């Protein structure tokens, strides 16, 4: 039935055109944003998951930054400890050799003490310089924290977040302290490693015994400092491993988010071309439907 009041063909064509235009708008939005799920209205479940995962990735990024800071701090302390241990020409190793040399009968211990003093001053200077971002574990004061926690990881199971840390006791690395409890300033007998003075010693049996005590004291200090350096070396390795893992985990989370919300650009470009053709055909169909009522005029001629 032909009617001037109701053009059902035009209405159908208009509905089709609206549907195509809506799909075209969605496709164009996906192409412009690169996302299949950009808002909660696109897919509430996927959007919620992606939002939570992005928040987790932000936390992991903070952990990565923290690990970088921790690595620099630990490396600074580790480098200073190995410098203090030294070799045949410096540090505790050289100090031990000088004290053994001082056992020689008739040797000028005053000249040896000149070298000892320089080594003592250099070790203290090294410890004082081992500061990164205001942190120094080798030369401690009353304000130095007894324990430090280095953030190492972050995870979330359900709604429960968990942050893990590497806990270090500063006393295990202290060479000098304001309370004289460090490896090198703790007094044993009559002196500490930092205050050993052999300039006035002679070849007497008592002075030789004193030298033996100094040698044993320095040997023990070498063991303590080496143990501290080995511990920090293990911490360095752990931090490095955690850093690599966190970066890999962040990449994995990014890929997971992409699988949920990213648009397939090949698919969207194909859909765009098809919808543009459908839109053109819809406009043409609507135009034909609107013109069909013109034929009614011929009935009245």
Decide which of 83 and 29 is more confident. 83
Residues 236-261: what's their mean pLDDT?
A: 92
Report the distance separating Cα 86 and Cα 98, nearest Å: 13
Please state which of the ranges 15-29, 106-120, 197-211 shows the lowest mean pLDDT: 15-29
Q: How many residues does the chain have?
A: 301
Residue 280 structural domain: 21-36+264-286
The DSSP symbol for 144 reads: S
Q: Is the same domain home to 184 and 269?
A: no
Please state which of the ranges 4-8, 148-152, 201-205, 246-250 shows the lowest mean pLDDT: 4-8
Q: Is the same domain home to 100 and 185?
A: yes
The position carrying tokens 């459908």 is 278
Mean pLDDT estimate for the chain: 89
- pLDDT value at residue 292: 67
Q: Which two tokens stand for residue 177?
A: 């302290």
Alpha helices, DSSP H only, in 178-264?
Answer: 205-261
The position carrying tokens 């966190």 is 246
Long-range contacts from 127-133, C-beta under 8 angstroms, 24+ separation: 127/80, 127/84, 127/175, 127/176, 127/184, 128/176, 129/80, 130/76, 130/77, 130/79, 130/80, 131/76, 132/72, 132/73, 132/76, 132/77, 133/69, 133/72, 133/73
Structural domain total, the chain? 2
Report the distance separating Cα 90 and Cα 96, nearest Å: 10
Domain for residue 291, yes or no? no
Q: Is the same domain home to 74 and 141?
A: yes
Q: Is the pLDDT of residue 298 over 60?
A: yes
Strand 147-157 vs strand 160-169: parallel, antiparallel, or unpaired? Answer: antiparallel
Q: Phi and psi (nearest 5°) for 264? A: -85, 105
The position carrying tokens 């120094």 is 136
- pLDDT value at residue 2: 58
Q: Is the same domain home to 149 and 214?
A: yes
Instruction: Name the pLDDT band for 297 (thresholds 50, 70, 90).
Output: low
Q: Is the same domain home to 115 and 200?
A: yes
Residues 196-202: what's their mean pLDDT?
A: 93
Domain for residue 295, yes or no? no
Q: Is the same domain home to 222 and 278?
A: no
Domain for residue 255, yes or no? no
The position carrying tokens 């050799």 is 97
Q: Is the same domain home to 122 and 234?
A: yes
Report the distance separating Cα 232 and Cα 168, nearest Å: 9
Q: Is the same domain home to 216 and 131?
A: yes
């Amino acid at each position: 039935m032909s009617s001037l009041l109701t053009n059902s063909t035009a209405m159908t064509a208009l509905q089709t055109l609206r549907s195509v235009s809506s799909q075209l708008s969605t496709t164009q939005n996906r192409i412009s944003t690169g996302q299949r799920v950009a808002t909660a209205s696109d897919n509430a479940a996927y959007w919620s998951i992606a939002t939570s995962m992005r928040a987790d990735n932000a936390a992991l990024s903070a952990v990565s930054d923290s690990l970088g800071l921790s690595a620099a701090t630990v490396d600074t302390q580790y480098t200073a400890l190995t410098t203090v241990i030294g070799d045949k020409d410096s540090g505790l190793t050289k100090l031990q050799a000088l004290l053994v040399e001082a056992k020689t009968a008739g040797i000028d211990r005053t000249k040896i003490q000149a070298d000892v003093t320089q080594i003592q001053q250099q070790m203290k200077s090294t410890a004082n310089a081992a500061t990164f971002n205001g942190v120094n574990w080798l030369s401690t004061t009353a304000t130095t924290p007894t324990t430090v926690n280095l953030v190492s990881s972050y995870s979330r199971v359900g709604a429960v977040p968990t942050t893990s840390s590497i806990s270090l006791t500063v006393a295990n690395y202290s060479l000098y302290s304001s309370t004289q409890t460090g490896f090198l300033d703790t007094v044993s007998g009559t002196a500490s490693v930092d205050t050993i003075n052999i300039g006035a010693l002679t070849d007497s049996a008592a002075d030789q015994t004193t030298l033996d005590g100094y040698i044993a004291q320095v040997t023990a200090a070498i063991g303590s400092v080496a143990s501290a350096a080995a511990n920090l070396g293990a911490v360095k390795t752990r931090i490095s491993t955690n850093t690599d893992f966190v970066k890999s985990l962040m990449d994995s989370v990014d890929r997971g988010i992409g699988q949920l919300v990213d648009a397939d650009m090949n698919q969207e470009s194909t859909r765009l071309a098809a919808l543009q053709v459908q839109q053109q055909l819809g406009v043409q169909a609507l135009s034909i439907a609107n013109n069909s009522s013109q034929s009614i005029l011929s009935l009245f001629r």
